[in-house]
């Protein structure tokens, strides 16, 4: 076949036509296969998400059924354990035992659970405690659930040991978390530089905390004052116990008022001795000195060694940023617990009778609807006269609602704090 001949052009035309027909056909087949696979993958992904959603519902207790191939689906979902747990908690609150069971079912071993609690692996400490706090579950509750499942305290110790912790590390952790001290009054840490400051300022914390839901805790800061007797009388009229976070002085008048508060069966906590923020929060040592002064005055007046306290300005304020964490750690080590609040009457900011009459019951009711506790911040001071004016009317209004429990902050009341495991 010669170049340029008729036969040559016939072959050339056939070749071009073949290319124009078969290449698009081949491409169509290839892309068809790819699109088919992509559709299958999208379908599978959708199926996995639906399966994960079903599993979340199952383990949250909203449905019944078994969990098959959970770990496989969970791993493919790309979710972290914390994301899954948060989704679960959104659906339904669970007990420590159920929480542990859910983690175990998810393929998390006892060692991994304890490792999260002790070494804070997997999720941050704040995130983990936030998850537990939603359900009122403490790390102690969870560890006890593990111990119970595995045969008691000896097995519990074995689990802790298997995480690689030494006996000393286990003891240090337990002491630090619970604020316990060794028999000589020192902390579990050999390097604690505050242990020798006021070595008698220690109390014994409760073994377990009690979280009373739908309870109203009335608290009064900054007293005693000229208003204390009136406040006590109103509380007496309605048979309500409250908590006074005091700023005492060494006068006979103050001591008499402190004794009156104690005699009526109310709780007394420390607020400060000076209430001077710059002075109190200058250092951890300065805070301990101020606290000890107030603590000692209450003991002299009443014989009570206060176990609870409230930071001037609350535990989170602009003055204690540099020392806050160290103060909390040291006070916890000594056995003390701090309480913030969940309802602010606004009296210290000059709230009127009408404003407090409306806002306090409204905020308490909002907490009640959420199954939360209400720790109400008010002030027993000469500078907050509206508190005394509105108090009796508030008590009558709250009592007449017929749905609230009232209590003082007891030694084993689970703290309400702006930041931390008891939020």
Q: What is the pLDDT of residue 193?
A: 76
Domain boundary among 104, 136, 165: 165
CA distance linking residue 264 with residue 87, whole number of Å: 46
Q: Are 344 and 352 in contact (CB under 8 A)?
A: no
In a domain, 46, yes or no: no
User: Per residue in 120-178, pLDDT tens?
Assistant: 444 454 455 555 655 556 666 666 666 666 666 666 666 666 665 666 666 666 666 55
- Mind listing the pLDDT tens digit for each residue in 293-322? 999 999 999 999 999 999 999 999 999 999
Range of the domain at 336: 215-406
Q: Are residues 377 and 231 in the same domain?
A: yes
CATH code of residue 330: 3.20.20.370
User: What does the alpha-carbon distance between residue 85 and residue 78 come to, in Å, rounded to a whole number?
Assistant: 14
Residue 23 within a domain: no
* Co-location of 240 and 314 in the same domain: yes
Decide if 275 contacts 313 (C-beta within 8 A). no
Contacts of 116 (CB under 8 A, 6+ apart): 122, 123, 128
Task: Read off the tokens for 71.
Answer: 């770990």
Q: Which two tokens stand for residue 46?
A: 């959708």
Do both 244 and 347 map to the same domain?
A: yes
Which residues have C-beta within 8 Å of that of residue 304, sequence separation ≥ 6? 262, 268, 298
Please indicate, yes or no, if residue 126 is contained in any of the structural domains. yes
Token pair belonging to 205: 């914390």
Q: Is residue 181 part of a domain?
A: no
| Same domain for 251 and 129 | no
205 assigned to some structural domain: no
What is the number of domains present in the chain? 2
Q: Is the dihedral of CA 10, 14, 20, 23 positive or negative?
A: negative
| Boundary of a domain, candidates 165, 198, 233 | 165
In Å, what is the CA distance from 294 to each residue of 203, 301, 326?
Answer: 15, 11, 20
With CA atoms as reference, report the closest residue to 338 among 348, 353, 351, 328: 328
CB 382 within 8 A of CB 226: yes
Same domain, 268 and 122: no
Q: Do the domain assignments include residue 33?
A: no
Q: Do 232 and 119 share a structural domain?
A: no
235-293 per-position pLDDT tens digit: 999 999 999 999 999 999 999 999 999 999 999 999 999 999 999 999 999 999 999 99
> Do 227 and 362 belong to one domain?
yes
Domain membership of residue 131 (yes or no) is: yes
> Is residue 222 domain-shared with residue 160, that is, in the same domain?
no
Q: Residues 106, 70: contact at Cβ < 8 Å?
A: yes
Examine the domain organization and report whether 158 and 230 are in the same domain.
no
Give the model confidence (pLDDT) of 194-233 as tens digits.
888 998 999 999 888 888 888 999 999 999 999 999 999 9
Question: Could you tell me which residue, 334 or 167, shows the higher pLDDT?
Answer: 334
Residues 267 and 407: their CA atoms lie apart, in Å, by 10
**Cβ contact 203:361 at 8 Å:** no
pLDDT of residue 384: 96
Which of 115-119, 333-337, 348-352 shows the lowest per-residue confidence on average (mean pLDDT)?
115-119
Q: What is the DSSP letter of 413?
A: B
Q: Do 401 and 290 belong to one domain? A: yes
Give the pLDDT band of residue 95 (cuts 50, 70, 90). Answer: low
Domain-embedded: residue 146? yes
For residue 48, pLDDT over 80 is answered with no
Q: Are residues 321 and 395 in the same domain?
A: yes
Kindly list the distances between the CA atom of residue 54 and the CA atoms of 62, 107, 233, in Å, as whole numbers in the listed order: 10, 17, 57
pLDDT value, residue 213: 82
Instruction: Specify whether the CB–CB gap between 314 and 281 falls below 8 A.
Output: no
pLDDT attached to residue 283: 95
DSSP assignment string, 221-271: ES---TTHHHHHHHHHHTT---EEEE---SSHHHHHHHHHHHHTT-EEEE-
Same domain, 128 and 250: no
| Cα–Cα distance measured from residue 122 to residue 116, given in angstroms and rounded to the nearest whole number | 6
């Amino acid at each position: 076949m010669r170049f340029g001949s008729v036969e040559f052009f016939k072959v050339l035309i056939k070749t071009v036509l073949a290319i124009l027909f078969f290449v698009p056909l081949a491409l169509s087949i290839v892309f068809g296969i790819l699109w088919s696979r992509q559709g299958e993958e999208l379908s599978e992904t959708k199926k996995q998400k639906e399966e994960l959603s079903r599993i979340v519902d199952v383990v949250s207790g909203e449905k019944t059924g078994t969990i098959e191939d959970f770990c496989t689906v969970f791993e493919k979902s790309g979710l972290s354990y914390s994301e899954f747990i948060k989704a679960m908690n959104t659906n339904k609150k669970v007990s420590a035992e159920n929480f542990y069971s859910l983690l175990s079912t998810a393929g998390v071993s006892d060692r991994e659970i304890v490792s999260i609690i002790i070494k804070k692996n997997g999720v941050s400490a704040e995130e983990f405690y936030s998850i537990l706090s939603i359900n009122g579950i403490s790390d102690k509750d969870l560890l006890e659930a593990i111990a119970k499942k595995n045969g008691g305290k000896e097995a519990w110790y074995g689990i802790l040991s298997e995480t690689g912790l030494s006996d000393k590390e286990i003891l240090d952790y337990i002491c630090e978390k619970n604020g316990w001290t060794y028999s000589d009054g020192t902390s579990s840490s050999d390097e604690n530089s505050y242990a020798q400051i006021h070595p008698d300022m220690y109390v014994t914390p409760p073994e377990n905390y009690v979280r009373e839901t739908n309870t109203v805790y009335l608290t009064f800061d900054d007293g005693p004052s000229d208003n204390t007797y009136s406040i006590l009388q109103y509380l007496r009229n309605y048979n309500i116990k409250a908590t006074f976070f005091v700023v005492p002085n060494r006068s006979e008048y103050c001591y008499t008022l402190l004794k009156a508060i104690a005699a009526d069966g109310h709780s007394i906590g420390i607020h400060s001795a000076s209430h001077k923020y710059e002075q109190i929060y200058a250092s951890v040592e300065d805070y301990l000195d101020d606290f000890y002064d107030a603590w000692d005055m209450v003991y002299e007046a009443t014989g009570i060694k206060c176990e609870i306290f409230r930071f001037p300005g609350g535990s989170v304020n602009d003055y204690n940023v540099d020392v806050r964490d160290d103060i909390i750690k040291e006070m916890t080590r000594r056995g003390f617990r701090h309480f913030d609040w969940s309802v602010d009457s606004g009296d210290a900011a000059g709230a009127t009778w009408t404003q407090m009459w409306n806002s306090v019951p409204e905020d308490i009711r909002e907490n009640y609807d959420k199954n939360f506790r209400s720790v109400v911040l008010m002030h027993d001071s000469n500078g907050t006269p509206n508190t005394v004016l509105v108090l009796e009317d508030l008590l009558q209004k709250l009592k007449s609602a017929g749905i609230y429990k009232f209590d003082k902050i007891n030694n084993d009341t689970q703290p309400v704090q702006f930041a931390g495991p008891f939020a």
